[in-house]
Amino acid sequence: MSPYFEILRPQTSLLAALGATIGAMVAGVQGILLFFVFCAVFLITGAGMVINDYYDVEIDKINAPYRPLPSGRIPKKNALFYSLALFTLGLFLSALLNLYCFLLALFNSILEFLYAKKFKRTFLFGNFLVSYFTASTFIFGSFLTFDFKTTWILALLAFLANTGREIFKTIEDIKGDKKMKLETLPIVSGVKAAREIAQGFIASAVLFSFFPYLSGLLEEAYLRIVSISNFLFLYSFSKKPSEVRRISKIAMYITLLAFLAGAKIR
């Protein structure tokens, strides 16, 4: 795999792009606009991954030395220009959708820089900000029709589940974060407390996942499929942090499928 593709974290960027596309479909968007939604979100998410690695290169030399930047497969200055090019292209595609999509994309792009440079090192706020990015992808496509009655639920579930995943990531990265004197949740409150808080966020997402069906917004197919993802989320609680993140990502993909299957697509 090319290091310039690897640094985009394609699985994560794909999840965000699919989330935005499915959110747009649920909101009634059709045709070529879905392609623009997918590409814009994939590019901006990927750009955020690159700029994050750019600022985290010293930490990643400890936590993830195999990544393209700490391993030397991509020069650091190239990563900065690469990120700017991806942001620019993603914003251009967002502008082709409408003004509101462009403004949300621009706002998120600025926040991506601020997160990578400063906010990531802020106690808990960095975790919430990443989860906001994930949640906002579902809202992005809805700005084309201004139909948010179902997509806000997708956004909330994504926020809760992803906050749990992000806290588990800080547990996984505690060695390098301690060396860099960061104040993450497991460093400040301890690994046990951080794990319980992370599980609480994910469990909240599981509990709230029944609301779309019970409220009549989604059909029975949603309930059947989301039950699989809920099982995976709860099963992951018995695993170590790196496995929790992997299993919960699979569960999030299944949740997207559940929304697609249960939605009343126009």
Judged against a pLDDT cut of 80, whether residue 182 lies above it is answered with: no
Cα 119 versus chain centre, distance? 16
Domain 3-262 adopts which CATH fold? Tetracycline Repressor; domain 2 (1.10.357)
Token digits of residue 167: 């806290």
Average pLDDT of 24-35? 91
Reported as a pLDDT band with limits 50, 70 and 90, residue 258 is very high
pLDDT in tens, 184-238: 888 888 889 999 999 999 999 999 999 999 888 888 999 999 999 999 999 999 8
- The more confidently predicted of residues 60 and 108 is 108
At residue 74, the pLDDT reads 92
Dihedral sign, Cα of residue 87, residue 130, residue 245, residue 135 = negative
pLDDT in tens, 119-148: 876 778 888 999 999 999 999 989 999 988
pLDDT in tens, 142-163: 999 998 888 898 899 999 999 9
Residue 141 DSSP code = G
d(CA 242, CA 171): 9
Reported as a pLDDT band with limits 50, 70 and 90, residue 264 is low
Name the percent of the chain lying above pLDDT 70. Answer: 98
At residue 169, the pLDDT reads 86
Average pLDDT of 45-67? 89
Delimit the domains of the chain by residue range: 3-262
